[in-house]
Amino acid sequence: ADGYYEYTMSECVYSTSDYSDMVYLRSWSFNKVVELQFNSTVGKFVGITEDGVRQAEYFNKDQATLQGLKAQVDTFCRHNAQIWDPAIRDKA
pLDDT tens digit sequence for 20-44: 999 999 999 999 999 999 999 999 9
Indicate which CATH number applies to the domain containing 17.
Answer: 3.10.320.10
Is the CB of residue 12 less than 8 Å from the CB of residue 80? Answer: yes
Half-sphere exposure of 29 (CA within 13 A, CB side): 12
Q: Dump the DSSP string for 3-16.
A: S--EEEEEEEE--S
Residue 24 lies in a domain: yes
Residue 74 lies in a domain: yes
Q: What is the pLDDT of residue 3?
A: 85
Mean pLDDT of 1-12: 89
Is residue 90 pLDDT above 90, yes or no?
A: no
Is residue 91 pLDDT above 80, yes or no?
A: no
CA-based torsion, 25, 26, 29, 35: positive or negative? negative
Residue 73 lies in a domain: yes
Band (pLDDT 50/70/90 cuts) for residue 72 is very high
Q: What is the pLDDT of residue 44?
A: 97
Total-model pTM: 0.85
d(CA 66, CA 40): 9
Domain span at residue 44 reads 6-84
| Tally of domains in the chain | 1
Residue 29 lies in a domain: yes
Residue 1 lies in a domain: no
Residue 36 lies in a domain: yes
Q: What is the pLDDT of residue 66?
A: 97
Q: What is the pLDDT of residue 38?
A: 98
The DSSP 8-state label assigned to residue 49 in this structure reads S
Cα Rg, the chain, nearest whole Å: 15
Residue 21 lies in a domain: yes
